[in-house]
Chains A and B, each alone.
Chain A
Amino acid sequence: MKKMSYCVNCGVELDKSLKQCPLCATPVINPNDVIIEEAVTTYPVEHMEKIVKKLRLISANLVTAIFLTALILCPLCNFVINDTLTWSKYVIPSIIFAWCCAVPPIIIRQNGLLKCVLIDLTAAFFYLAAMNMLTTPNVNWFASICVPVLLYLCGSFILLYTLSVKKISVMYIISIGFVLSGIFCMMTEYFVRKFKLMEIEFVWSVPVLISCVGVAWVLIIISRLSKISAVRKRLHI
């Protein structure tokens, strides 16, 4: 038999089904209750999460069905008309890549952003590799440009995500984002030039990097200023 519980803060007696005081949100802890039993709630509890999860699954299935239809119909039409696979071999990896971008955000809820972006980047990795093989099998632009660029993007995203999880100021994260974008441009220019066997020099990417660093610097100053004004508020004469 469950004993009566009282809110230690408000002094009211609480119904057995309550896990916290509805008035002050103080958790109910009754040391005399050795056996934890689920009491009948005063009102029905609607598990909205279950309904939402079901809805998400339905949406994901619907989107998958649409992509699957395209995946079957494209090669079929192509084969019927041309007796061989011509244009559809480019469509197939594109559809798979689009599916990888569209479906995970619908299903994944926990750490959704991190997981979805990593899935997207991995999908992009395979998609670009496939396109390289299908379009220009003799020229390996994938290994020369795409791999370092994708790895850099992946690393940058993980860095920014870790900073946001550690509750670093949003202004700082945006500033770092700008600097990383500037470096990204420089890196892209470097690998493109190297791939094209051109002389290694930075033409367009340097102004971009300087602008990005400038914006980041301004943002950091703004975020510092707000702190200065807070100090001034407390110390004004």
Chain B
Amino acid sequence: MKQPKNWYRLDNAAKIYPAVRTRKWSGNFRLSLNFNEKVEPELLQQALDDVRKRIVNLNLELKPGLFWYFFEETDRPVPIQPERQSPCGRIGGVDNKEMPYRVTYYNNRFAIELFHALADGTGGLIFLKSIAARYIELRYGEKIPEFQDIILCDSEYSPEEMEDAFKRYAKFRTLKSRSELKGYHFKGTVLPSDQTSVITGIIPFAKLHEKSKEYNVTATEFIVSVMIKAFMECQEKSKIRVEKPVKVSVPVNLRKLYPSKTLRNFALYINPGIEPRYGEFTFEEITEEVHHFMRMNNKEKYLNAIMCKNLSDEFNPIIRVIPLFIKNIALFTAFKMYGETLVSSTFSNLGKVDLPPEMARHIERVEFMLGRFMAGMPSAAAASYNGNLYINWTSGFAEKDVEKGFFTSLIKMGIPVKIESNLI
């Protein structure tokens, strides 16, 4: 008799992504890794196939139910693909018969591009490192030891990897309102929705760290402040009549607050920003605002209340019984009204990527990149490895005013920046 396939409910954060996909766009992100030598596609395919036998997430396909989407286990092959000039393009065919992720390669680099419904950045990084570990084993014959969160092919599966951590840790003491003012949006010439411009800035982390210490803030807070400054300059130049708040959404990894080992979504957002209507802010004042806002809101109790508010919508009996196609329309409308409009941009920092020496000697760099926003607003993601911070700006606009403002501010502060791009 045919075994029924395992299936999983989408976690709370994942529920929005399938509903807001369009024919050319889906909410994605990408993690990539550069080896010292050219990637061998056959071995990479072998490594992916081996890792898929161990990591359940990489065997899931998205399916629509009557009321919600769900993930179902599948043994559908996932052929690796050559990289495209516009990375992080829509994932899943128009008929949704593709897996919610893809693995690509180009020269020394291989990348995993994930549909956000499947995992968050931390989960994605574990997939990336696990595939890289298996690839190194196959390519160089080195045995990779157990190291932090890397999943080795012969390790034991823990059901915790697939848990919906939101549901597990929500306390339902109180719900925190999500009401916020709409943020400033950069305007420009919009590229077609399947095109993304990528500008990578390579920054010596020590210099950045030193500078952020001068302002008594963390590296993330410092970068967010520079981003806010760049957006504020663009808003001033645009001469709009009523200035809007400039806010940058910063994902917070909840695994640091709760001992979860989930490989699925487990992050929330806090949106530090500046309200220009109060007057002009110096850079010191921006860093102070960002620093205190982050410290104030990045607390377990507040984040739990936001988590509970999100879950309360999902648990609402009326919402639950609405058929999926109506839910999709409602979610798409809500996303258009509130999803991307509240903030000016996003900055996601994966932090320092640690690898065991057996892997580190073959790996030159690790990068993190967000897919473009549906409306095209420039957003940034960063990861640091081997003494460098790789910050990737992705945008759906032809104009590069924000990115230019950001990088030139760093240069003016004495932080050297090296630029790479897919815009030749």
Binding site for B on A (CB under 8 A): 7, 10-15, 17-19, 21-24, 40-46
Contact = CB atoms under 8 A, between A and B. Distances in A.
B178 interface: no
18 contacts: A10-B408, A12-B407, A12-B411, A13-B419, A14-B418, A22-B199, A22-B423, A23-B199, A23-B400, A23-B403, A40-B107, A42-B420, A42-B421, A43-B83, A43-B87, A44-B85, A44-B106, A46-B84
A17 B87 CA distance: 18
B76 interface: no
A15 B419 contact: yes
Contacts of A45: 85, 424
A22 B424 CA distance: 8
B416 interface: yes
Nearest to A15: B420
Contacts of A40: 107
Contacts of A42: 200, 420-422
Contacts of A14: 418-419
Given A11-B408, A18-B421, A22-B403, 15 more contacts: A12-B417, A12-B419, A13-B416, A14-B419, A15-B418, A17-B424, A18-B419, A18-B424, A22-B419, A23-B407, A23-B419, A44-B82, A44-B85, A44-B106, A46-B85
Interface of B: 82-85, 87, 106-107, 197-201, 400, 403-404, 407-408, 411, 416-424
Q: Give chain B's interface secondary structure class.
A: mixed
B281 to A, nearest CB: 23
A11 B403 contact: no
Contacts of A12: 201, 407-408, 411, 417-419
A11 B419 contact: no
B83 A44 contact: yes
Contacts of B200: 42
A11 B421 contact: no
A90 B89 CA distance: 53
A23 B85 contact: no
A43 B422 contact: yes
Contacts of B417: 12-13
Nearest to A40: B107
